[in-house]
Chains A and B, each alone.
Chain A
Amino acid sequence: MRALHRALDLVEDAFAVIAGCLLILTVIFVPIDVTSRYFFNAPLTWVFEVTEYILLLVPCLGMAWLARGNGHVAIDIVTSRLPARGKLLFGLASSVAVAAICGFIAWWGARVTFESFQAKAIIENVLQTPQWLVYLWIPVGFGLCAIEFARKAVSAWSGGMPAASG
């Protein structure tokens, strides 16, 4: 069981590191693109497109990692005033619900990705990127996030202590 927790932490951390690197890439390449367009009249045409994919990848890759640290903003006007037991119950219900929501989106995301793969759909832009390659991160991200919230639900159920995380 502990190995499973560790494996999940590891995947989440690795995804977060990739998301961080992708953000840095945008900081490096967007100015290079602008500079080379203005001064050398040689734009890096792929930058615009890749940046847009990165904006999908960042939340998808970081979603589960953020959830582990309770970083998704929630409104706790009501729940913070509940007694401990009520807090636990609401926390449990909320984790179960979010796990289901993410699982649902992961499932439909996977279907859309698969259909796109079969249809060999292309995103009509400079790079002619296969659509499934970008869409794939929706089921992956939401799927991982579903697992993370399932873990939260299990740990709330079995004693209220949050699972070990690093």
Chain B
Amino acid sequence: MVGRDAGCERLKTMEWWLVLVIIFASLILLLGAGLPVAFAFLLINIAGAEILMGGGRAFQQLVHSIYGSVTSFSLLPIPLFVFMGEILWQSEIAARALRAIDRVLGRLPGRLSLLTVSSGTVFSALSGSTIANTAMLGSLLLPELRRRGYAGDLSMGAIMASGALAMLIPPSALAVVFAAIAKVSIGKVLVALIVPGLILATLYAVYIVGRAVRQPQSAPSYEVSHVTLREKVMGLALYVAPLSIIVFLVIGVIFLGVATPTEAAAFGCVGSVGLALAYRDLTWKRFLEAIKGTLKISVMMLTIMAAAIGFSQLLAYSGASRGLLEHVMSFDVSPIMLLILMQLVLLVLGCFMEQIAIMLITLPIFMPIIKVAGIDPIWFAVICLLNLELALMTPPFGLLLFVMQGAARTVRMQEIYRAALPFVAIDLIVICLLLAFPVLATGLSRFVR
């Protein structure tokens, strides 16, 4: 034991940056070798407990940290928001709403792409799962978009971009994960994401119209059968307006301070199931499919979350977080520069890594810096989440690019990359907008009680 303790002493006095480099290098090595994200983090936690903290009690501490990481009431929205998306996906609610919106849109330039963005935005307000949202939009709209000869960015690009909105516009499971790891108010982050989400959707629409006007062949116009005003209104009233009940159940009750985000999420689930039942399209089989889908994503996310506290404890214990903090602060960089630098780190990581992994790696280090630099954590959270949403679409490994490839089958990956690029650019513009005008992110959240 003497030798081991001496070893520990040596390691404890090791330069903080060396520890940091070793932790991150081994993590990237493990992830690159294809180890599932959750277990790669757990292995680092185990190794850290042995090497830095001398094993024994540290392993017991690790077990307690697994318990502590997930047994938090505030994490319940993760499965519940995903469940809402699954119910929407399994029932006909989405398809019906889409048909109603379809009738309302007249002969607009880039009509089908606008339909994609508008329905994608509506679904985002009902679903917390980007994969379900993108797959749903893909299956409902891609065949029609292709039949009408729409260009790649106006078809696949629009679907991916609108599908990704589910990560921002509440309910959003990943926003809950972010707020939980960063230890900021979940309700405030959810509400703060509304405006940036809508700005994104609007700019997507502006881009589509602009492109369709300048290059009409990219979005060939077609005859739309005449629909009377009465039919339009009836469609909206029957199939779109009721959806606002769910939106109110989730966002409204948080906003009014009636319920916590967790309770709101539970109400949202009840609302989704109730609505699906009211439309009479929830069979047992579909309900069970929805639960199975929810279980898959929730278990996956919660297993990764189980390593969260252990990992941030490791960074803290090794002195790495503190060391980096002091180091960064010693440079006397302006807060905005810090913010931009952190976003660049996220942007690069986002091209290769999965969202929760990025959050686990960066937030224990970023959040103390944010605090000391006096940056508004809600503002920071919104910008980061936008950046992580962007990561869903950035080549080469954005998750939605692969969801799209699964839906489109015959299309080459290069074409999908190209289709995503205009929307990646729009996302970057909105991130810059938020950096310049923090009020876009924080304005609404100030009213959350």
Contact = CB atoms under 8 A, between A and B. Distances in A.
Interface stretch (B69-77, B216-224, B227-235): B69-77
Given A23-B298, A75-B352, A90-B33, A105 B71 contact: no
Q: How many of chain B's residues touch chain A, expressed as a range?
A: 35 or more
Contact of B46 (A59, A66, A73, A101): A101
A135 B67 contact: yes
A23 B86 CA distance: 14
B35 A94 contact: yes
A154 interface: no
A123 to B, nearest CB: 9
Nearest to A66: B299
Given A26-B266, A79-B34, A108 B60 contact: yes
A129 to B, nearest CB: 11
Given A104-B46, A109-B63, A27 B36 contact: no
A55 B71 contact: yes
Contacts of A97: 35, 39, 43
B361 to A, nearest CB: 12
Contacts of B59: 108
Contacts of A79: 33-34
B270 A31 contact: yes
Given A52-B73, A98-B36, A108-B62, A59 B299 contact: yes
A102 B354 contact: no
A71 interface: yes
B295 A72 contact: no
Q: How many of chain A's residues touch chain B, expressed as a range?
A: 35 or more
A143 to B, nearest CB: 13
A59 B71 contact: no
Contacts of B259: 34
Interface string A81-94: 00000000011011
Interface in B22-71: 31-39, 42-43, 46, 59-60, 62-64, 66-67, 70-71
A44 to B, nearest CB: 12
Contacts of B292: 20
Interface string A60-79: 00110111010111111111
B73 to A, nearest CB: 6
A25 to B, nearest CB: 11
Nearest to B31: A75
Interface in B240-279: 258-259, 262-263, 266-267, 269-270, 273
B268 to A, nearest CB: 10
Looking at chain A's contact residues, is the secondary structure mostly helix, strand, loop, or mixed? helix
A63 B299 contact: yes
Interface in B295-338: 295-296, 298-300, 302-306
Q: Point out which of A48, A58, A76 has the most chain B C-beta atoms below 10 A from its C-beta.
A: A58
B34 A78 contact: yes
B296 A75 contact: no
Contacts of A67: 36
17 contacts: A23-B79, A26-B266, A33-B263, A34-B266, A52-B73, A55-B71, A59-B303, A72-B38, A72-B303, A73-B354, A75-B37, A75-B353, A90-B33, A94-B33, A97-B43, A105-B62, A108-B59
Given A23-B79, A55-B75, A93-B33, 10 more contacts: A55-B73, A72-B300, A73-B36, A94-B35, A94-B36, A97-B43, A98-B39, A104-B46, A105-B42, A134-B67
Interface of A: 16, 19-20, 23-24, 26-27, 30-31, 33-34, 38, 48, 51-53, 55-56, 58-59, 62-63, 65-67, 69, 71-79, 90-91, 93-94, 97-98, 101-102, 104-105, 108-109, 111-112, 115, 134-135, 138
Give the 5 A-B residue pairs with the shortest CB-CB distance, closest first.
A62-B299, A30-B266, A72-B36, A59-B302, A79-B34
